[in-house]
């Protein structure tokens, strides 16, 4: 494993997008940097299928009073989720 030069002060940010080429270590970096995050991996059918059918269903994946990071991996598979994410950030501070 290569040492990543990515420096994001996670304790000071509420949300961000992490873009990069496939296989560059984005998911690995996130799992190491925010191990307590809620991970929604849209490669998995149990996440992809319900969210592709109804993006608003994202809210049901988030436990009540959850205040840690939420990672949506492969969000490009369901672009409509960006509206839900935007609303969650604006309305609930997620």
Residue 4, domain member (yes or no): no
Residue 21, domain member (yes or no): no
Residue 38, domain member (yes or no): yes
Q: Is the pLDDT of residue 14 over 90?
A: no
Residue 68, domain member (yes or no): yes
Residue 44, domain member (yes or no): yes
Average pLDDT estimate for 67-82? 92
- Exposure string over 8-45, b if 16+ CB within 10 A, otherwise e: eeeeeeeeeeeeeeeeeebbeebeeeeeeeebbebeee
- 39, 62, 69, 88 from 65: Cα distances, Å: 16, 9, 12, 13
pTM of the model: 0.80
Comparing 8 with 47, the larger pLDDT belongs to: 47
Contact (Cβ atoms closer than 8 angstroms) between residue 48 and residue 54? no
Residue 18, domain member (yes or no): no
Structural domain range at position 65 = 30-92
Residue 20, domain member (yes or no): no
Q: What is the number of structural domains in the chain? A: 1
pLDDT of residue 94: 47
Write down the mean pLDDT value for the chain. 86
For residue range 28-57, what is the model confidence (pLDDT) as tens digits?
888 988 899 999 999 999 999 999 999 999
Residue 13, domain member (yes or no): no
Contact (Cβ atoms closer than 8 angstroms) between residue 41 and residue 26? no
């Amino acid at each position: 494993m290569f040492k990543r030069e990515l420096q994001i002060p996670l304790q000071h940010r509420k949300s961000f997008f992490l873009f990069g080429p496939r296989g560059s270590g984005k998911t690995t970096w996130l799992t190491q940097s925010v191990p307590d995050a809620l991970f929604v991996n849209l490669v998995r059918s149990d996440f992809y299928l319900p969210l592709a059918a109804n993006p608003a269903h994202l809210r049901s994946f988030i436990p009540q009073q959850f205040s840690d990071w939420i990672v949506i991996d492969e969000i490009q598979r369901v672009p409509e989720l960006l509206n839900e994410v935007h609303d969650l950030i604006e309305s609930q501070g997620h």
